[in-house]
Chains A and B, each alone.
Chain A
Amino acid sequence: MFRVSTKETALADRLRQEALALRPAFSEALHARLCGALRECQSDAPRPHQRPSASDRFFRWAPAVVAACLLIAVCASWIAMKVRPEAGSDSAGLVALNTGPSLPKAQRKIDVRSMSKLVNQVTAQFDGMVNLAVTSPQRLYVDRNLRMALKTPMVRVPLDVVSSLLSMGSQKRPPHVPPAGRPSLLKQVKPA
C-alpha cells in the first residue's frame, strides 16, 4: 500500500503529466491574431498609471500654503506691533517675555490673554481654510480659498494698531479707542 504522501505525490505527478501531454503547441497564427486584436484596441490602450503629478499636488496644496504663510506673517507683524506700544506700561496683567537682554525691559512684555485669544481665532480660521482646501479636490475651490486667504488678513489687521503705530514716534501715546462696531483685540492699557 502507498502511504498518503506517496499517493498524493503520484496523483500530482499523474495530473501534471496528463496536462502537459495534452498542452497544445504554441501557435504563431494564434499569436498573430492576438497581437492584431491588441493593435485594434490600442485606442483603449493602457494609459500610464493615473497618479497625481507633482504639479497637481502643488496646485492642490498651494492655497493652504499661501494662506498659512499669510496668516503667519500677519500674526508675526501683529505681535511685533503689540509689543511696541506697551513700552513703559507695567501693569499686573503683563508677563515678561525673555526675548534677549539687548531689548529694553518694556519691550519684552506682551499681553498673554489677548495673544492667546488671537492665536485661537487664527488657528480656527486656518483650520477651516485648510479643511476647505484639502477636502475639496475640485479646482473650483482654489479661487474661493485664495479669495478667503486674501480677505482674511484684511479683516484681521487691526486698524487701531496702525494708528498707534503712526503715533509711536511721539512719547505720549493717545488713549486707545476701538473703532465703532468692532471690538478691539488690543487690551486697553492704562497710561503710565
Chain B
Amino acid sequence: MARSSTTAPPSDEELACRAQQGCRASFEELVRRFQTPVLQFLQHRGAAAVAEDLLQDTFVRAYVNLSRYRSRWRFGTWLFTIARRVSLNDQRRRRPQSGGAAIESAEHAVPGPAEMAAAADGRRYLWDRAARALSPDELTAVWLHYVESLSTREIATVLERSSMAVKTMMFRARKKLLPLLEELAPDGSAVNSAAAAARNRALCV
C-alpha cells in the first residue's frame, strides 16, 4: 500500500506498547532492533563467552516483565537496565568459581581469536585501555554515552545511580581517557611509543 510505504516505522516505545497488548510480532521486531547493541554491550561488560546466553536471558526477562514497562520510558534504557542486571547476576554467580578474582579482568585476560585480531590491528585500542583504566560502572557509563547515545539521566537509570554521580563518573572517565587518546598516532591507527608502553604497564599493575 502507498500509505504504509510513506508512514514512518513505529518507534520502540510504540512497539513495546503493542507487545504489552499481546502482539508478539512487535516484540520480535524489538528483538531485531536491539539484538546487536545489547549483545555488544554484554560482550563489552566482560561476558564475551556467555554473551549470547545472557542476551537470551535479557530478552526473556524483558518479555515476561513487559507489563512493568511504562511508555514514558525509553525502551532502550529499560532494556539496557535489564541487560546490566543480568550481567551482574551472572558475574556474581560465577565469582566463587573464579577464586575471588574480578570476573571482568579474568575475561579480558583471555581474549578470543576475533578480539585478539582486533586488538592486534588497533581497532579496539582505546576500549582495551579504557577497560583497564576505568571502573566497571565508569566503563558502562562511557559505553552508554558514546556508543548508545544515552543521556546522563538515562545512564543514571541504567546504573541505578543519581545523575550527579553519573556526571562525576563521566568527568573522571574522560580525565583518564584523554591521555590515552594522546598516545594515538595522528592517523589513529598505530601506537608505538615508549610512553604508551609505560602507561600500559602502569594500568595493568
Indicate whether B39 reaches chain A with its CB closer than 8 angstroms: yes
Chain B nearest CB from A65 CB (Å) reads 31
Q: Which residue of A lies closest to B43 (CB)?
A: A24
Instruction: Please tell me which one of the listed residues A14, A45, A48 contacts residue B181 in the complex, with CB atoms under 8 A apart.
Output: A14
Give the distance in Å from the alpha carbon of A49 to the alpha carbon of B19 in the complex: 11
Give the distance in Å from the alpha carbon of A97 to the alpha carbon of B98 in the complex: 89
Among all A-B residue pairs, the 6 with the closest Cβ atoms: A46-B66, A19-B147, A15-B146, A44-B64, A21-B123, A37-B56
What residues of A have a CB within 8 angstroms of the CB of B63 in the complex? Answer: 38, 41, 45-46
Chain A nearest CB from B58 CB (Å) reads 9
Contacting pair B64 A49 (CB below 8 A): no
Where chain B touches its partner, the secondary structure class is helix
Q: Hey, what's the 0/1 contact readout for A18-46 against B, CB within 8 Å counting as 1?
A: 11111111110011011101110110111
Interface residues of B in 115-166 (CB under 8 A from A): 118, 123-127, 130, 142-143, 146-147
In the complex where A33-B56, A38-B63, A50-B67 touch, is A18 in contact with B39 (Cβ < 8 A)?
no
Tell me how many residues of B have a C-beta within 8 Å of chain A.
Answer: 42
What residues of B have a CB within 8 angstroms of the CB of A34 in the complex? Answer: 31, 35, 55-56, 59
Indicate whether A12 reaches chain B with its CB closer than 8 angstroms: yes
In the complex where A10-B181, A38-B59 touch, is A18 in contact with B127 (Cβ < 8 A)?
yes
Tell me how many residues of A have a C-beta within 8 Å of chain B.
Answer: 35
Give the distance in Å from the alpha carbon of A50 to the alpha carbon of B130 in the complex: 44
Contacting pair B22 A48 (CB below 8 A): yes
Give the distance in Å from the alpha carbon of A8 to the alpha carbon of B181 in the complex: 10
Contacting pair A37 B126 (CB below 8 A): no
Give the distance in Å from the alpha carbon of A19 to the alpha carbon of B41 in the complex: 10
